A = this chain, B = another copy of it.
Amino acid sequence: MHLPIGISVDCTILGYEDGKMKVLLIKRDKFPEPEKWSLPGAYISEIETIENSAKRVLNELTGIQNIFLTQVGIFDEPNRYPDHRVISVLYCALIKPEQFELIAGSHAKQVSWHNLDEIKTLPFDHNKMIEHSLNWLKEEIWRKPILNSLLPDKFPLNQMKDLYQLILQAEIDNRNFRKKVISQELVERLDEKTKGGQQRPAFLYKFKE
């Protein structure tokens, strides 16, 4: 009835800074895999929904709160975790690194952003989890302004395009991209331009609504 199976949550928190995609990792302090960097995660509590557990765990480990988490998958290989069975529910969120103060708490020794393209082998199936989250993001990216969680409030369209290219891992046609996001009324142009660049200033845009 009450099987000896643990249920945990893990979170892929993605950010965008200096033109690179980042993922938030914690340095573990306990068994298993102490001292290793991994996705923030922990067992769920008995009285919360899984999503609320994910929010709480994320806050306890990293200090991040009040963000929107989306469930993106379940990882249930019987041997994915050492010692005993743990089924993990994976959540993903996109945030602007500069808007959150990182506070390592609970069983995290450190918290920090890591460049996505430099991620090495992580414990358990966390590499698979990141890959899974990125695939989820690729599919969701055109639906509504998901990316306003990654971009600053005001941004030039080329920055937005760079981000789409980074996520989709593909070239995007400049003119078609502009037509699309403007005609779909995803973004609107402000009466303001970039300053201090080495070249022609660009109009700034913001997400609608």
Residues of A at the B interface (CB closer than 8 Å) are 1-7, 43-51, 71, 74, 76-78, 84-85, 87, 89
| Cα–Cα distance between A8 and B2 once the two chains are bound (Å) | 10
DSSP majority for the A interface?
loop
Which single residue of chain B is at the shortest CB-CB distance from A2? B4
**Residues of B with C-beta under 8 A to A78:** 46-49
Known interface pairs A1-B6, A2-B6. Does A50 touch B71 (Cβ–Cβ under 8 Å)? no
Copies, count: 2
Question: A124 CB to closest chain B CB, in angstroms?
Answer: 16
Known contacts being A7-B7, A71-B74, is A46 close to B1, with CB within 8 Å? no
CB distance from A73 to the nearest CB of B (A): 9
Please tell me if the beta carbons of A46 and B7 are within 8 angstroms of each other in the complex. Answer: no
Rounded to whole angstroms, the CA-CA distance of A77 and B44 in the bound complex is 13
A2-B4, A2-B84 known; 6 new pairs, CB 8 Å cut-off, are: A1-B43, A7-B87, A46-B85, A47-B78, A49-B76, A74-B89
For residue A45, which residues in chain B have a CB less than 8 angstroms away from its CB?
3
Pair A49/B71 contact, Cβ less than 8 Å: no
Q: Which residues of B contact A1 (CB under 8 A)?
A: 6, 43, 84
Cross-interface CB contact of A5 among B7, B71, B74, B85, cutoff 8 Å: B7
Measured CB to CB, the nearest residue on chain B to A45 is: B3
Interface-centre pick from A3, A6, A7, A50 (highest chain B CB count, 10 A): A3
List the B residue with the shortest CB-CB distance to A53: B76
- Can you report 13 residue pairs joining A to B where beta carbons are below 8 Å apart? A1-B43, A2-B4, A2-B5, A2-B84, A3-B7, A3-B45, A3-B46, A4-B46, A5-B46, A49-B77, A50-B87, A71-B74, A74-B74
